[in-house]
Every structure is written in C-alpha cells, then in structure tokens.
Copies of this chain bind each other. A is one copy, B any other.
Amino acid sequence: MTTSIPATPALATRARAVIERVRPEVDGGRFPVKRTVGEEVVVEADAFADGHDQLCCLLLHRPLGAPAWAEVPMTLVGNDRWTAGFHVAAPGRHEYSVVAWVDRFLTWRHDIARRQDADDIAAALLVGVELVEAAAGRAAGSAAGELKAWAAELRAAATPEAGRAMGQSASLAVLMATHGERLFVTEYGRVLEVVVDIERGRFSSWYELFPRSAGASEAIHGKFTDVIERLPTIAAMGFDVLYLPPIHPIGREFRKGPNNTLAAGATDPGSPWAIGAAEGGHRDIHPELGSAEDFRRLVGRARELGLDVALDIAFQCAPDHPYVKQHPEWFRHRPDGSIQYAENPPKKYQDIYPFDFESEDWQALWQELKGVVDHWIGEGVRIFRVDNPHTKPFPFWEWLIGAVKAEHPETVFLAEAFTRPKIMHRLAKLGFTQSYTYFTWRNTKTDLTEYLTELSRHDSREYFRPNLWPNTPDILPEFLQYGGRPAFLLRVALAATLGASYGIYGPAYELMEHEPRDPGGEEYLDSEKYQLRQWNLDRPDSLSGYITRINQIRRDNPALQSDWSLRFHDVDNPLMLCYSKAAGDDILVMVANLDPHNVQAGWIDLPLDQLSVPGDAPYQAHDLLSGARFLWQGERNFVRLDPQVSPIHILRLRRRLRSERDFDYFL
C-alpha cells in the first residue's frame, strides 16, 4: 500500500538537521524570558544530523517587528550542543530562533582532509570546485570574482594534495559561509521571545511609605507636599523606587477602624486599599493627600532625585466606589441582591468588593482597568506594585501587562502575590516584571540556602525576578518581633545582598517597629493601614545610616546588581551563612551571623578558583560596611561576628596586595 507523504514540513522533508532543546525557553516557548537593557541572551541548542556530514548552525534574533533577522554563527561546545549569544539594546520584545543545515562545503572541507590516496583526493577535489563555482554564480561584486579565482586555483592545483591544502583556507571558508548554498534548512519551529525591561526591572531598591503619615503630627493627614519634602532624605538613603500604597479616595461604607476594627470613628482614615468613594475611584486622588497637580509635582521632583514613584494597583472597590452604581454588572450579586464582600472564609474584608471577572461585561471591565493603568502612566508613573494579583484571572494579567508594555515597554510590574508557588510562577511567566517572594519568612541557613539557590539558579530565573522584602505593612515577621536591633540589621543586609531587587516598608523598618497587634500574629500594632502614625525620623538609633551605607555598596558594586551569580559556601557553623556574588572583577563575599542573640564564629570555605582568586598568594577581604580589611590566604579563613556590632560582613576580595616589590628600595 502506498502511504502519501504528508505535507507537514516536520515529517516530509529533505532537511536532515535536527534542532532540539533550545534554551532559554519557558514552557515550550509559551512565555518569554526576561532580560534588561544591555544584557546578553546566551542561547544553546542541540543540533545534529544523520551520518557524518558537517552542520552549520545559526542563532537568529531581531527586535519584535524588525524586518530581517540578525544571524550569529553558533559554536559547538560538545555532545551536539551549540551556543551563541546576542545583546538586547532597548526595552521591548526581542525574538530569537535557531536554524541549521548540513553544509556541503563544510562537509567537503572536513572530508577531503581525511582522505588518504591521491586518486581519491583528486576525485573529491572536483566536488569542491563545483561547490565554489556555484557559490561564485550566486555572489555579486568582488566576492563573485574572488570565488571564481578560488575555483580556478583549486581546479589547477599542481597536485591533489596541494588542492586539498587550498581547500582548508580560512578566507575561502569565510566567502563560502556567506555565499555557499543553504540547502534543506531546518528551522527550530518556534520563535522564542525575550521581554527586555529597563535596568530597574533587574536592579532596584524600594522604599514603601504611607503619605498619610507624613504630616506634621499624628492628628494631621500627610500630603504629597509633605512627601516631596522628604524626597531628598529617601534619595540620600540610596533608594530608587518610592512605592506608595493606594492614593485614591477611601470608601466610607464599612470603613475599618484602627487595628482592623469594624467600627471606624468619624475621623478614622480607613484602609487605602478600600478604594473609591463619592470623591471618585481608581483614577482619582484622595483629597486629603492633595491634588493631581501635587501628585505630578511629586513624581517630577522624585525623578530629578533619581527616584521612581511606584503606585499600587489594587483592583477592588469599596462599597461606595462609583463603579458599584455605574457598573453593577461588574460585581457578583447573590440571590438576595447583596454583593458578597471580599473574603476567604473565615477571613472577611467587609470594606472591599471584588470585581466579578466572570461577568458578562468582562471585556468592558478589562478595558476600564487598563484605562486606570494608562491614566497613571499619563501622570508620569512607570512602576506599579500590583496588589493580590492572584485573586484576579491569569488571562487578564497576561493581556493587561502585554498590552501596556506594548505601548510602554519601560513599565515595571511587581506582583504582590504571597501565595502558592505555582501561582506565583505563573504570574511571573505571564508578564510580571518582579515578584514578591517567601524571603520574608526564610531565616535559617538551610531555608535561605535552598530558597535563594532556587531563585538564582533554577530555570525559573529566566522569568521569575525576586524582590526581597524583610517586612511589609501586612507582615511583621516573628524574627523581627523577637530579634531586636541585630535582626533588623541582618535582614535588610541579607535582602540587599541576596537580591538585586529588595525593598523595605519604612519608616517602620529603620525605626525597628516590632510590636505585633496580636501575639503570634504578623500584623503591626497600630498599623498605618488603618490609622495615621507619627514617625520620629531623627531618632538616634535609626538604621537610616546603615541602610544608606548598604545601598551605596549596592550602587558601587555590579556584583550586587544581578542575581544569577549567587553561590553559597561552606561555613562550619550552622548559624552562619556565607555566599558570594561576582561580576567580572567585582567579587563580593558575604558572611552573616544568623543568630541575633549571640556572637558566632566559624571557618568559611571559599572555592577560590571559581572566584578567580589565586590560591597561592594572600588576598585582602575588605569589609565595605565597617571598612575593616582582613588579610586572607587559601580557601579556609576564620570569621567572627558580633550581632550587636554588625551581623554581616560584605567583603570585597582584592587580589592585589602591596608587597616588598612595591617598595622603592626594591626597585
């Protein structure tokens, strides 16, 4: 029986090369990988063909929408694995793929070199002549002439061996790489994408504050103008993102009182996440904070100081949000006509209605919510912290972020999803630039090592960019409740050196706020979520100087500006953590005492060869925090840390030490 040869290119073809396992690739190309401007995308692929013929393998790449592919020859690294790379230059989407084919000229060149008898070489030489002549026919200009000359020379070779030697010429190979025939080319079959973000997508230092508490006293509602006055201080601390909780009118119905009580007093400000009231909704500004003009001035002044103002995107409504009356179809009504407030029984959020994304009018809802983001982009915002994205449908976020970034590739979206791992990963895959993490609850050596290794080394790093927070307005971790000042010193230093992106909720952090509302709970006592607070920023024990120093170290050291180089190293003390980050010559080794109560000491063990530090000469470990300089030699060195003084060393390894050779007398 004759079976027809199907038209499917994959199945019926003379293309003999196979391309498999192209990396990076997320879920078979379903999602893009992420890079920031200037970074390299190193691409690998398995490529091979039947038989013994030689392959040519090319990486193709281009900015999305560009008419032509740029080609980069891939290099065989062994075991049929090829590699090449390209740099991404501008925010937006970039695409790449791989092609390969059995190359007749490369095969001929390789093959003739192994032939042994003259007749055989002579017969093979003619094959090469034909290939070069055919290339000459395809080429134009000077290349055509050069190739013709090569063909003539090969044909006129004095001996077969002489012709064979000519055939190995590198300049002939260059000509043939351009003009040789690409016959039966195999395409990988998928075009993969990179989302290119601004540098802040990879390296950012966030400071969160409640503008409501920036007033002159606890009785006076803080305003944008107060925040503007504080901007130089925040910038001087070295932060580059100032993140504000929602700035919109706050609902009055079911408004929460201090400490999340159900009955708010007449002057209680309510939770800023209960968005919407008579004064307006998600595009409006809470009148007590100021005007739209004030907000624009805040954004502008911040930009002058190198700070991005990041807004909170919380897609939910107070019961008196204008949407509730204007678009009742966007909320799910129960049979009794009521709208169910947000809840995860038995937890209740009586002051918040969720949107019903299963609404018949869902497309208008999607458009409206995108309009909210567009509005704030119009007001100068490009960084958004998205509240609870895991309680809204995944397809919505993929569409929203995709659509916004298509118009504004410079935007950054941080997913505040403290939820199950696969949900957090999905959100990262479908477009969130950065993600909150479990770092907030990772305190022990084992936990930190395992989790940060996962974040920095596993394939998921291609799409999941961690942003490490030691605290948030919702989370005062037990470690900070009980660890005293050393705990605060430690956790911010860990966040800032383990993660290229990190953030703190201040001034609660630098002022070491550590009283929980309920014993065993993680809510702050007298949380700013429900009331105004007055912070004494001038307190002598403030950590602001320490944090300033850490942020300065981050700015000075490229090693701390990306995550992928993180490696953990042995310390013979389970309460001490040692890890390194490197970028070129910038090699940092961090050694931390995880015990906030006791002095700890131990021997650390550094793989000097991996760190490119010669093992046979002394080297200097310069603590960038304290200024101390230690003289070390070899892989094992002793470290002692008093948490009351400093629970961490941030050591820059300096290979060059002065010796007698530097002394005048010696010259």
Q: Which residues of A does B touch, CB under 8 Å?
A: 1-3, 5-6, 10-16, 18, 20-21, 27-29, 46, 48-52, 79-80, 111, 114-116, 123-124, 126-127, 129-130, 183-184, 334-336, 338, 344-346, 357-358, 362-363, 366-367, 370-371, 374, 390-395, 398-399, 402-403, 406-407, 420-423, 426
Contacts and interface: CB of A to CB of B under 8 A. Distances in A.
Contact of A16 (B5, B20, B126, B394): B394
A20 B124 CA distance: 53
B398 A335 contact: no
8 nearest CB pairs, A to B: A28-B28, A126-B335, A114-B345, A3-B403, A16-B393, A80-B422, A51-B391, A13-B395
Nearest to A5: B363
B11 A398 contact: yes
Nearest to A397: B50
Given A28-B28, A52-B344, A366-B5, A393 B426 contact: no
Nearest to A358: B14
A11 B50 contact: no
Nearest to A389: B50
Given A3-B367, A14-B395, A15-B395, 5 more contacts: A5-B367, A18-B394, A21-B27, A50-B393, A50-B423
A132 B48 CA distance: 59
Contacts of A46: 422
Given A358-B184, A426-B20, A392 B50 contact: yes
Nearest to A112: B345
A394 B334 contact: no
A19 to B, nearest CB: 11
Copies of this subunit: 2
Contacts of A393: 14-16, 49-50
Contacts of A50: 357, 390-394, 423
Contacts of A344: 52
Given A79-B421, A358-B14, A422-B46, A399 B5 contact: yes
A526 B135 CA distance: 49
A421 B366 CA distance: 49
A345 B422 CA distance: 52
A341 to B, nearest CB: 11
Contact of A14 (B27, B334, B362, B374): B362
Contacts of A398: 10-11
A16 B6 CA distance: 37
A29 B27 CA distance: 11
27 contacts: A3-B403, A5-B363, A5-B367, A10-B398, A11-B395, A11-B398, A11-B399, A12-B366, A14-B358, A14-B395, A16-B393, A20-B27, A48-B426, A50-B357, A50-B391, A50-B423, A51-B390, A79-B420, A79-B422, A111-B345, A114-B345, A116-B345, A116-B346, A123-B336, A127-B334, A130-B335, A184-B358
A344 to B, nearest CB: 5
